[in-house]
Amino acid sequence: MNTLLKSVTIVNGNTKNLHLKKRDILIKNGVIDAIETNIEPTGKTKVIDIKNLHVSIGWFDSGVSFGEPGYEERETIENGLLTAAKSGFTDIILNTSSHPTPDSSSDIVYLKNAAKEQLTNLHPLGNLTVKGEGEILAELYDMQNAGAKGFYDFKHPMSNANLLKIALQYAQNFGGLVFSFPLDKSISGKGIVNEGITSTKLGLKGIPALAEELQVARDLFILEYTGGKLFIPTISTANSVKLIADAKKKGLQIFCSVAAHNLLITDDALEDFDTQYKVMPPLRTAADVKALQKGVKNGTIDLVTSDHTPLNVELKHVEFDNADFGSIGLESIFGILNNLLGFEESVLLLTKGRSIFGMEEINLEVGQEANLTLFTTEESFEFSEQHIISSSKNAIAIGEKMKGKVVGTIANNQLVLNN
């Protein structure tokens, strides 16, 4: 496949001399063949010439869920990876949210084989404990050898502090990355939304910020004792940002992410009891949102994730108390970030983080394999169901103002374009 990108603005932090410069880019057989001021197409070459077209290295998402195996009605691996490709992502980390959950090397091999020959690369996580039940450590070393990029009982907090300690000590022997979801269940109880003025007014059981922060503080104490690498996914409170910033100053190998919707939407959105806004961690206050945005800008928060969690319709179209937590987000994350931060900062966030998971960083240079995301930056629109590619439609971003659109992606000698 030969592809010529005409007059594209390169957004590339790695090669400063090309950053924000307009160039033609020729790709031959999946490799960047030339980057020049003007390149004329020859032979069978697909030419992409679109107004305001920008290009960066392919985007990366550290927290994506599909359904397969077990919940194929929510999302298959094939359609999930197509959704990721059309949303600009050439690499995604797959959460342990399937049934059965992946807690052995054979499960990891199955997931990798199911994703072969797709444009978007799937990098699976393995369970930290057997069946994600928090009682016995899973086959961490074997799973890492099979291709697991870390170990996570998806959205299930590790209540056994000693088991987390042992996991961190053991995983150091092979450079394993241990995840710990930030929630103390003994504090959160049966809460379903942020504890505060809104939860009181609506009569909904609240989850205090303390439930997250106690768990974060505990995990950081354990990390300081054991050493190793710890990833805390989807933090949501101002104090969590402060705790992690302090830990980083101590030199601990601590990484964290935030869900894009927690950077944008507050718990005021719950006024209409719309179950699309029922997510975990919950939407927090304006003060928390401001602190999270600051944490992203100053680097305390390493990654912004879509926290893409497809759910079949009957799990959302019920009373608020009975609805499941979760929202899809691959299709909307760029529009949210670009509107909040501008395209340069957004692209920086969407392209960083591969090294945390032991993956090679990629470059936009002649001779390198083409791993690229194509996008525009100026078009404003309101996100609606017509923009959803996922099989499931549980999107928290419906009705939100967006800026910029993904045009397509190039990777693995394949090209996927949005219509």
Find where tokens 């009682």 sit. Answer: 135
Confidence of residue 133 (pLDDT cuts 50, 70, 90): very high
Query: pTM for the complete prediction?
Result: 0.96
Confidence of residue 361 (pLDDT cuts 50, 70, 90): confident
Among candidate residues 307, 338, 357, the one where a domain is terminated: 357
Among candidate residues 357, 377, 400, the one where a domain is terminated: 357
Structure letter (DSSP) for residue 173: G
Mention every residue, 6+ apart, whose C-beta is less than 8 A from residue 93.
61, 62, 63, 64, 123, 124, 125, 149, 150, 357
Provide the annotated active-site residues: 307
Q: Which whole number is the average pLDDT over 204-209?
A: 98
Residues above pLDDT 70, as percent of the chain? 99
What is the enclosing helix (H) or strand (E) of 248? helix 238-249
Residues 110 and 248 in one domain: yes
Q: Is the pLDDT of residue 42 over 70?
A: yes
Residues 281 and 391 in one domain: no
Confidence of residue 14 (pLDDT cuts 50, 70, 90): low
Residues 295 and 348 in one domain: yes
Q: What pLDDT, in 10s, does the model give residues 217-248?
A: 999 999 999 999 999 999 999 999 999 999 99
What is the enclosing helix (H) or strand (E) of 186? helix 185-188
3-state secondary structure of 36: strand
Rounded to whole angstroms, the Cα distance separating 217 from 246 reads 11
Residues 351 and 397 in one domain: no
Residues 220 and 304 in one domain: yes
Average pLDDT over all residues of the chain:
96
Tell me the residue range of the domain where 411 lies: 2-55+365-417
What is the enclosing helix (H) or strand (E) of 31? strand 31-36
Residues 161 and 50 in one domain: no
Do residues 178 and 157 make contact, with C-beta atoms less than 8 angstroms apart?
no
CATH code of the domain containing 72: 3.20.20.140
Residues 305 and 404 in one domain: no
Confidence of residue 21 (pLDDT cuts 50, 70, 90): very high
Half-sphere exposure of 355 (CA within 13 A, CB side): 5
Instruction: Choose among 127, 124, 62, 135: nearest CA to 101.
Output: 127
CA angle, 410 as apex, 396 and 405 as ends, to 5°? 35
Residues 71 and 37 in one domain: no
Do residues 146 and 103 make contact, with C-beta atoms less than 8 angstroms apart?
no
Torsion of CA 54, 59, 64, 68, to 10 degrees: 90
Q: Is the pLDDT of residue 114 over 90?
A: yes
CATH code of the domain containing 12: 2.30.40.10
Count other C-beta atoms under 10 Å from residue 387's C-beta.
18
Q: What pLDDT, in 10s, does the model give residues 238-283?
A: 999 999 999 999 999 999 999 999 999 999 999 999 999 999 999 9
